Every structure is written in structure tokens, then in C-alpha cells.
A and B are shown apart, each in its own frame.
Chain A
Amino acid sequence: MTSVAAPDRTGKTEAATPAKPVKQGMSRKHREWLAAALFILPDGLGLLLFVGIPMVLSVVLSLFQVSGFGTYEWVGLANYERMFQDPMFWESMRLTGIYVVVLVPVLFCVSLGLGLLMKQKLPGTSFYRTALFLPYMISLAVVGLLWKFMLDEQLGVVNKSLRGLGMEGEPWLGKPELALFTLIAIMVWVMMGYYMIIFLAGLQDIPKEYYDAARIDGAGPWAQFRSITWPLLRPTSFFVLIMSTVAALTGGLDLIFTMTKGGPANGTSLIIYYIYTQAFGFGEYGYASAMGTFLVLIMVLLAGVIFKVTKSGRFDDGQ
């Protein structure tokens, strides 16, 4: 670091006084690195404390038979062996697969559609934007109770409306083949507002000039979407895809707990609920940890596949 005498009002620099000895400190690069580290530190500590360490402990726990009353017995990989032979585990994984494969694309399309709609300067847009975001702010337990009443077989507003239209009502949560899709529809209702806002932010980042130029070239709405919106929205789409996949794999517990308890006939017993019941219902903490670890591995693999396929949302890099 060097010291320079300040110029006087005439612009002349005063005769340089002997410069003070300069401390030999960190380089600019190191100082920036330190600042960045300090900024990350609180969040990093939180992640380490509440995510990292529990994850490691969970992996360790999966190697033990845990009584639920403070006793641990080393069983090695026995919990994983049990997991691979447990038909209910595979059934829960199958249901979770259906849940993710249906929920994520539907949520993606609905949120994107709403984002595009909200970008238009239509009357009442602010109101609708807020209204659509509201379900996301309600606790899932409350959402579950609300929908439970609305889907009531006899007097629920959904079946009453259907009957009003001359159609038969359905036991939406009483048939295994319906209950899972009912939950998916409710999850879309809950989460679409959040992802709509993310898409909207992405859409607003796209320079307006691109659309102006396209219009001058005679491009219609579909051509504009295909050639401008979709490619430039890819980083946002990638983020939504990753986040909604993780949310689908790990979320929904509160909703299942309040609405179906995993029923009917295990029809909504997603893996996250199965893990919960094994741990807190049956006291099988070791086994539940093994399934939790396996689920994390699946998520890491899925995220890896999405990263690979979408090139982290940057398809056009280098083209």
C-alpha cells in the first residue's frame, strides 16, 4: 500500500512528506477472499450445524439398530439389506416416482404459464399475482385441513359443484387410484405461486429489445417464445426443475399427515412418509436413516442427471 499526498485547491501536490511505513498485510485477492468467507460464514455454519452434521450422523445411524430408547447395536449394512428386501419400501419408492414424474412437469408448465400471463400488463395483475402466491404462504397442515373439508365426499364444495353440473362426486381421498393425484393437484395449487414468481423474475430479465426486433421481423407469439423466451429462460427453468424435484422428493409430509395418513391402502405412502412412520411411529431410527441416506443418494443422482442434461441450464454456451 502506498500513500499519496492529497492535491491542494490549486491542484498542486504539496511537497511529499516522508511516507509512513506501510504495513505488509494481505494482498487484495486475499482480503476479498476473506471478506467472501466471512459473508458465507454464518450461512455456512448454519448449514454445517443443521444439515451437514445431521446428514453425517444419519449415515452413521443407518449402520446401527436403534431401539428408540438410547441403545445402539452395530449392524453394519443390515438396514440396507432390509431396505432392499422390504416390499413396502419399493412400493413407497414407486409411488414417489409417480408423484415426482407427474408433479414436477405439471408444476413447471403451470408456473411458467402463469408467469407468462402475469408478465402481460392486464388489469388486476398485481391482485392475481398476490392471490396466486398466497397458498404458498399457508402452512401445509392448514392447507391439508382446508382441502380435506373441500373434498369431503358428501358435503365438500368440490363434489357439490360436480353434482350441480350433473356429474357424480368422487371420494377423492378414499380411493388409492385417486388419492395420490389429488395430493399432486393440491401441491400444484400450493407451489405454483412461488415458481410463478421465479419465472416472472426470469422473464423480466429478458431485454425487451429482443421482442421488438422479433416483431419487426414478423415473428408471432409462438416464434417469440420458442426463439427468445425459452432459450433465455433456461437458467431459471433449470433452477425451477432442480428445486421442484427436490421439493417433490422430500416435501408433502404435512399434507399426507393431515389428509390421508398414507392411506387409503398405502396409496399415498410416499417414501418421505414411510421414513417418518418407521422412525417416529415404530421407533426404527436406524432403518429410517438407511432409507433417508438412500433418498439423498437418489436426489444427488437426479440432480447430477439434470445438471448433465441441461448443462446447468446453459445449453447455448459455446454455440
Chain B
Amino acid sequence: MLQHGKDAGTAPPPTRRRFIGGAAGVAAAAAATPLISGCGGSAKADGKRLTFWNFYAPQQTQDPAIKAQAKWLTDLVKQWNDSHDVKIDLVFIPGADYNGGYKLPSAFAADDGPDIWLLSPGDFLRYQNGGVLQDLTPHLDKGVVEDYGDSLNSRTVDGKVYALPMEVEPLAMYFDVATWEKRGLSEGDIPTTWDQMLDVGDKLRSKTTAGLVFETNPGYYQNFTWYPWLWQGGGNVIDGDGNAAFDSKAARQALGLWQDAVAHGIAPRTMPAAGDFLSAFKTGLVGMWMNGIWNVSNFKAYAPKHKYGFFKLPIPPGGKYSTALGGWAFAANAKGNNPEQAAEFCAWALGKNDEECIDRMVEWCTVAKSDVAPRKSVLDRATEKGGYDFWALKKFKDDIAPGGRAEPRYPPVVYKAVSDAIQGTMLAGKGVNSEVERAAQSIEAFMKSYKGASLI
């Protein structure tokens, strides 16, 4: 307050020390306020505001595919917020940080995990065994579990659903039409066996073109892309009774396939175009590349005129076709601010029988993204609406996905044992037999002491 007259003349001028002291006091008071109030305000504390961590929205982007996905999620949350008392805030985490980054695990370790988040099959057991997955079953409409069918297998424990898939993403072998034609190959050369695939890859390769691309970076994704080759020979990491089953002929031949492809220079040791799938195709860097359905929408958005094709993964002699079905799911935090409402949101978004819910999922799987729908009703509706009329999506739905198996939910020790076997044989030239035996021993040792939800 300004002072005038007599008093004003006698008031001592503020000293620097007094100013600094005062500023420090204000700063301390400002800093202490959120600490005292629990950092997050009352709305969060009483469960009226929930957070939804994801790698889609909200974000500003010029990428038409990502823009459509971000809009779908933003609209979804807006629709919920407009009709419910408990509000949801979307929290965007870039994909690279979300997958393999430290943010999500650190948040849960600090008991400050999100209320709702996107969960991959590879991470399912870690969160389930950690007791943070809320049971979604009571919130689902009647018949929804049956409607999901096998898509729920890797998200169910003791008959209870702990995460709801938003998509099914099968793997296939993509090929570049121009490169094929340049090498004198045609549709009649599409391989159906492993040997044929290696032969075609050999014809496609050159100094600047990779004949056949398998994932080379270690991680859950590489394992995910390797499992189909194991399954095709009748192999498993864990068998149907929950026992370790890695030491098998099927594991040896699947590891041998990738090893041979690299050793003979048919498959590269690193990802072409630094892993940029579309750039590699557009610049003729690859002949064939094993990849997922999500690239259909990428081709549509970025290279609509580029000629490409894909085919079912070839099989070994006496083998049976299989592919891996990936895809993310909504999960609710059992230790969050309001687990019941978080679970209700997941079910409202993906687990109801009403038209709105089904149309929403159709939109996600066929417009915002290019995926096979995880529910039969959604798949039927999308087909009716022409969502799978486009040749590539139709082929994924009708030819590629049937016969596929859901991505396994193995815990880190099992994942790592398999990953080391793949990496060792593929890129370090280690013996297939010794790597299979080492991995099998590691998995068996782990299984003896494992306590937690079923691995299959």
C-alpha cells in the first residue's frame, strides 16, 4: 500500500536483505501449498478426475493417419466427459517413451500410475501380477465376453477380464511390386514355403536392396514377429499345460530360418531406412518385409499410389499356417483414484452392446486405423458398412488373421531368454542347438519359482 504524508517519509526503505528474505518466504509458501494439498488438487484426490495415458492424443500433427487416431481418442473422451460426472484427462506420451521408456513403470513404482492406460499383451502379466489391473468383467454388457472370443484370451485370468482390446493386428509378409517386377517375379512367385521364401528373397536382393526383412532390434516386438515361425512348426515357449516347451525341433528350425536368411545375406542385419517401413518401400530398398496390418493405413496416408502386396507367412515342411495377432487394450488401475469409474470407462468405450459403442469401434478399426476388429459384432458391422471393402483390409480380415494366435503374455525372464536366443543365432552366429538349450534351461528354472497368473 502506498503511504503519503508524514508516515511515508519515516518508513524505512526496503533493504536488499529484506527483499530477498521476503521473496524467499513467498517462494516457500508457494512451494508448500501444493505439497500440503497433496499435489494434485481435490478433484483428483476424490476421484472426480481421472488420467488416461496413451500415445495418440492430444497432439498437434500434420500426419493425417495420426491426426485421425488422435481425433478418435479425443472425441471418445469428450463424449464421456459430456455425459459423466467423473471427468477424464488425456495424457499424451510419445510412442518411443511409452514403449520401453521409463515413464509408465516409474509412475507405477511411485504409486502414481495413470487411472487408465493402453496396455500391450507383452506387459500384461507384469501389471496383473503387480495387482494394479482392475477387473473389468462386472462392467461389461452381457455377451460381450463371447463377442470378443479368442481376442480376450491373453487378457483374461481365471475367467475375469482385466483389459479390453481395441484392435487386432496380424502380421503378414509385405512385398514391393516394382522390385518384384524388376527381378522378373510375378504373383505366381509368391512363396508358400520357407525354402521358396528364401529363394525369392535371394532373387530380390542387391547391394542396395534387402531381399527379406525380419526385425533385427532386440525387444518384445522382435519376439512378437518371431513367434509365428515357431508356432508354424508346432512349437511353443510354454505348452498348453503351462510347462516350459522351448526345447523343440520347431524352435530350432525357426531360429535356423532367421539365421540362414542373415548368414546368406538375404535378410539384413539392421533395419533398412533406419526402420522406416514406408521410406524403404518408396525408395526400393526392400523386396519383402514382415510387418503388420497397421501399414495399410500408412500406405493410404503417405503413399496411396505405391504398388505393394502382402501374403500369408510361408510355412515349413509339414507345418501349419499361423501368424501373431497383436494389438493394444484399455486397462484400468486398481490402485488409482477411482478404479470403479476407470473400469466403467473402459467398458463404456469398448465393452457395451449399444450401437454407439459398436460404431465407435468400427470407426477405430477401419477409418482411424487399419485393423481387424476384436469383436465379432464390430467385425460384422464394419463389413456391412464397407469398412473392409478395400482389398488390403479385406485380405487381412479374410486370409491373414484367421489361423493367427494372440501375442503371448510372457514375463520378462521368459521374453529375455527367447530374445537372447533369437539375437544370438541371428546376429552373432551362435549355434542353434546351444541357444535353444540355454533358453530352455533359463525358462525352466524360472517356471519352477514362478508365482503369479497363468502364462498362457
Does B207 contact A280, Cβ atoms closer than 8 Å? no
B172, chain A: closest CB distance, angstroms: 23
A171 vs B269: C-alpha distance in the bound complex, in angstroms?
6
Q: A68-B126, A260-B217, A283-B130 are in contact. Are A153 and B269 (CB under 8 A)?
A: yes
Give complex CA distance A42, B247 in Å: 59
B242 within 8 A of A: no
Compute how far the CA of A284 lies from the CA of B416 in the bound complex, rounded to whole angstroms.
14
Q: Is the interface of B mostly helix, strand, loop or mixed?
A: loop
Closest to A174 in B: B269
Q: How far is the CB of A64 from chain B (nearest CB, A)?
A: 12
Contact of B218 among A151, A174, A262, A276 (CB under 8 A): A262
* Category for how many chain A residues contact B: 35 or more
- A94 contacts the other chain (CB 8 A): no
Q: Are B428 and A69 in contact (CB under 8 A)?
A: no
State the CA gap A260–B216 with chains docked (Å). 9
Tell me if B335 is interfacial: C-beta within 8 Å of chain A: yes
What chain B residues lie within 8 Å of A195 (beta carbons)? none
CB distance from B260 to the nearest CB of A (A): 16
B residues 97-135 near A (Cβ < 8 Å) are: 100-102, 105-106, 108-111, 126-127, 130-132
Tell me if A173 is interfacial: C-beta within 8 Å of chain B: yes
Distance in angstroms from B423 CB to nearest chain A CB is 4
If A70-B111, A176-B427, A280-B102 touch, whether A152 touches B273 (CB-CB below 8 Å) is yes
- Confirm or deny: B307 has a beta carbon within 8 angstroms of a beta carbon on chain A: no
Q: A261-B219, A262-B218 are in contact. Are A68 and B130 (CB under 8 A)?
A: yes
Contact with A along B258-295 (1 / 0, CB 8 A): 00000000001110111000000001010000000000
Contact B217 A285 (CB under 8 A): no
Interface pair B424/A265, CB less than 8 Å apart: yes
B428 to A264, Cβ gap below 8 A? yes
B100, B216, B269: the one within 8 Å of A281 (CB)? B100
Residue A267 interfacial (CB < 8 Å): yes
In the complex, A177→B426 CA distance in Å? 14
Interface residues of A in 144-189 (CB under 8 A from B): 145, 148-149, 151-155, 163, 169, 171, 173-176
Instruction: Determine the residue in chain A with the shortest Cβ distance to B275.
Output: A148
- How many interface residues does chain B have, given as a range? 35 or more
Distance of A266 Cα from B416 Cα, bound (Å):
11
Chain B residues contacting A280 (CB-CB under 8 Å) are 100-102, 105-106
User: Contacts A263-B217, A265-B423 hold; do A66 and B109 have CB atoms under 8 A apart?
Assistant: yes
**A152 to chain B: which residues have CB within 8 Å?**
270, 272-274
CA distance A175 to B263 in the complex (A): 11
Find chain B residues with CB under 8 A from A90 CB. Answer: none
Does A33 have its Cβ within 8 Å of any Cβ on chain B?
A: no
> Within residues 41 to 81 of chain A, which ones have a CB less than 8 A from any CB in chain B?
66-70
Most B CB within 10 A of own CB, among A148, A152, A154, A285: A154
Cβ of B420 < 8 Å from any Cβ of A? yes
Of B126, B216, B269, B283, which contacts A155 at CB under 8 A? B283
Contact of B131 among A69, A151, A276 (CB under 8 A): A69
Residues of A near B427 (CB, < 8 A) are 174-176, 263-265, 267
| Residues in B neighbouring A154, C-beta threshold 8 A | 207-210, 268, 272, 285
A282 contacts B by Cβ under 8 Å = yes
**Can you name the residue of chain A whose Cβ is closest to the Cβ of B427?**
A264
CB-CB under 8 A for A153 and B268, given A174-B216, A265-B423: yes
**Within 8 Å CB of B108, what residues of A?**
68-70
B412, A282: Cβ atoms closer than 8 Å: yes
Nearest Cβ distance between residue A144 and chain B, in whole angstroms?
10
* Cβ–Cβ contact A176 & B428, under 8 A: yes
Q: Is the CB of A174 within 8 A of B270?
A: yes
Across-interface contacts of B111 in A (CB, < 8 A) = 69-70
Interface residues of A in 197-211 (CB under 8 A from B): none
Bound CA–CA A261/B283 (angstroms)? 26
For the complex formed, measure the closest distance between the CB of A22 and the CB atoms of chain B, giving whole angstroms: 21
Q: B142 near A: Cβ within 8 Å?
A: no
- Chain B residues with Cβ below 8 Å from A283 are 105, 109, 126, 130, 412
Q: A154-B208, A264-B269 are in contact. Are A70 and B412 (CB under 8 A)?
A: no
List of B residues within 8 angstroms of A267 by Cβ: 427-428
Q: In the complex, what distance in Å separates the CA atom of A190 from the CA atom of B131?
A: 44
Given contacts A175-B269, A261-B217, A283-B126, 4 further A-B contacts (CB under 8 A): A70-B110, A257-B100, A281-B100, A282-B413
Chain B residues near A (Cβ < 8 Å): 100-102, 105-106, 108-111, 126-127, 130-132, 207-210, 216-219, 268-270, 272-274, 283, 285, 335, 412-413, 416, 420, 423-424, 426-428, 430
Q: Which 7 pairs across A and B sit closest by C-beta, in order of nearness?
A: A174-B269, A69-B130, A265-B428, A264-B427, A282-B412, A171-B269, A280-B102
6 A-B interface contacts by CB (under 8 A): A68-B126, A152-B272, A279-B102, A280-B101, A280-B106, A284-B412
